[in-house]
Structure 1
């Protein structure tokens, strides 16, 4: 079988100018994945992502294989199924057709060495990243675009980014290797990696642990964005841990107004309208130092946020030495699928996004908080887990599900006796009690929620 013509990577005029790569190793990795799906997980753990492959069509094939693998519990991975998926996405011709997939299979020396081939691919990807980092530093220095100190800082950040995503050399997996750390946690009386919330009453019921997907649901205007922002601010500003809020609903200016209102105790509407009184200014200045030095609190309001973009932002934070301790995605149904297809079923797309956020939490070993919207049918009554808009997969993927509900009477009208309160219903709690209702004080004018008890 004749191999379809090889195409060089981007920005390449000749093989002499091609940055480091190993075409045979890339082919061997993909061929092994097509032959034996058991090698997919160790290969994926060894690589930082599809960009580790130099050849563009290899990047496409790798993404397709890993997407198919994570889509179902019992994936079928072979040249035929991968070709069918590439054909459906319009990318089959771009990678050289089905014939190239069969060529990859025939080019594999041994599937047993798949991880070794992946390490070669990863090594060359890091070499390319180092070259790119030094190229940028050289260009900055030649043009004197910044001071020497700033150029050096930027170069160090680029080099740290080049090393991001490397699989740890010493991974503890056996019970024997994990036992001592577990005993130390028991002796300490707490999981040192777990996070609390700013609400004392809720902390008695749930704990945010690494690898968890925590879904917070509410109706439109039901307080889910306040919950997410208050939680992230607590982690970043009170606990001093890096936090990322990926917002698809609000821009950076509105996010800053909400954060400032909550921290300074200034009415949100006056901040949004820029009608700040002298008394308000005094409160803002008092909260200023706390917010001015919040370098580890990242608000990403990039348009059309996808899982890939959130993952890239997390790796960017890690490259700066501030890997996020928590990620808040606001909100799930507004996220853009990686490969949106015409006439795609939105429920399936949201299910893929939900599963993707869960995998993201497990990959980075942090809690990921996904805010989600209810269907209109949930209005006027206490919500249940089946009320999430566009998806029934959220219940399955989530470790913890919190449903927010403003108290109502039996006829659906607001409960005047509980005005200014909001209930947080613990609908699912994989590591604790379910069904608990935790009332919080709803201070919408200050863009914050408060615990009924004292902190």
Structure 2
């Protein structure tokens, strides 16, 4: 391990003669700590040199590093990205030597930023053999983790000294930062071969059920759909179509009856409204009595029967923050993991109310919704949970069976989702639930990557008790 020397001590071997040392810029408040950050320039040179000696080394390094950001010196990240891009374009069929890399950097206008073509040969000469690439890459990755720890600790200390804002919220945000650091530095043993996967696959077949799958409270839907880790499940409906009931009923089933931690992020209802609907669905007490606080003796008896279950529901989290975003959802999920109860499912109600992040100035709302949809899909994969996102239909879907194309402000939902369930209620023009299908809602399985598409399941709509029920149930 070495410590970066002052900028004045650099010579041409380390690239251009910059005003700083070529490392990543840091806020002024942390400049005093910059020279103490752990790094190994020789190991970084050896990694890049090995990649320019052997295509096999490129694969080994790519598996080991999280990306170019693991390099301490910015010019090294630039070289790494150029090598990776060249390798990807050629499909790994061509050796990536210093001459090719110099040409790539010249085309990008970046060769002078890394110290010229001569510095590429310096990197090659720094590694005795490409066979050691994985060893040097591991050192680069680990030192990057130590620098990330310093950065996170410095930022947390600054927040503490500032003493601004709500203390519990700041502490929770700090916890989320630590959880993100843990997730980013964890080394996962990959099991990719058929041999590695075979026994687990056979065990699941013998069990008769996928041990990772979650069921729903509706047996007819369970015959068609499984909720699996990494899936984005989109549930769409028109106004008053039952999507919030669907989301809450599903969440309460998983949290209260399957005892798996669940996070419900509701941007449409506050905590009291969510609690009223949950209590109504679980106890059978009429929803309007709970909302108006006009309970009768029989209602109190019903509540008493579910009181123990509800008072012990520590795994069931209701987040009614009106401002929700992808980063806030990630922070809450990481916080749950830090508390020893990693989420088994996330329900977001609803998609079009979520705030966008890092949006371009000229982006349309449809583009923003598309980014949110893709972000929820990434969260499902990152935390290995099913993410159930509720979404609103366009006004044009009113009065007819909905289509996937009816989702409001987004055409990317179909592509991002593993499962799409469209809810349809035939309401009269005045919005009343009348006619031959009164008291029912159709759950249309419009997309199902692991099962049948186009199936329709009839559910009973019990709005007065805030629940959807299987037609086979009372």
TM bucket, shorter chain: 0.7 to 0.9
From 226, 245, 253, the equivalent of 1:226 is: 245
Work out the CA distance in 2 between the residues paired with 1:302 and 1:167: 30
Kept in 1, the 8 Å contact 2:281–2:466? The answer is yes
Q: Deviations over 1:394-438 (max 9, x none)?
A: 11111111000013699x996522211111001111111111110
Work out the CA distance in 2 between the residues paired with 1:386 and 1:281: 45
5+ residue gaps, structure 1: 62-77, 79-97, 140-144, 146-154
Work out the CA distance in 2 between the residues paired with 1:129 and 1:256: 40
Kept in 2, the 8 Å contact 1:216–1:404? The answer is yes
Secondary structure (helix, strand or coil) at the match of 1:383 reads: coil
Work out the CA distance in 2 between the residues paired with 1:229 and 1:28: 54
Q: Deviations over 1:163-199 (max 9, x none)?
A: 4454344221111101110011111111100010001
> What does residue range 25-424 of structure 1 map to in structure 2 within 5 Å?
102=113, 116=138, 119-121=141-143, 123-124=145-146, 127-128=149-150, 163-407=182-426, 416-424=435-443
Work out the CA distance in 1 between the residues paired with 2:115 and 2:422: 49
Aligned twin of 2:18: 3
Post-superposition shift, 1:311?
Answer: 1.4
Post-superposition shift, 1:25?
Answer: 9.1
Work out the CA distance in 2 between the residues paired with 1:250 and 1:172: 43
Aligned twin of 2:30: 12
Kept in 2, the 8 Å contact 1:257–1:272? The answer is yes
Change (3 A) 1:275 1:199: same
Work out the CA distance in 2 between the residues paired with 1:374 and 1:251: 22
Work out the CA distance in 1 between the residues paired with 2:116 and 2:251: 47
Kept in 2, the 8 Å contact 1:194–1:210? The answer is yes
Work out the CA distance in 1 between the residues paired with 2:116 and 2:432: 64
Post-superposition shift, 1:271?
Answer: 2.1
From 425, 431, 435, the equivalent of 2:454 is: 435
Post-superposition shift, 1:220?
Answer: 1.3
Change (3 A) 1:130 1:189: same
Kept in 1, the 8 Å contact 2:260–2:344? The answer is yes
Q: How many residues align?
A: 407
Post-superposition shift, 1:202?
Answer: 0.9
Q: Which has the larger radius of gyration?
A: 2
Work out the CA distance in 2 between the residues paired with 1:431 and 1:101: 52
5+ residue gaps, structure 2: 1-15, 79-100, 102-108, 125-129, 162-166, 168-173
Work out the CA distance in 2 between the residues paired with 1:15 and 1:219: 55
Greater shift, 106-115 or 273-282, is seen at 106-115
Post-superposition shift, 1:53?
Answer: 10
Change (3 A) 1:291 1:376: same
Return the TM-score normalized by structure 1.
Answer: 0.73
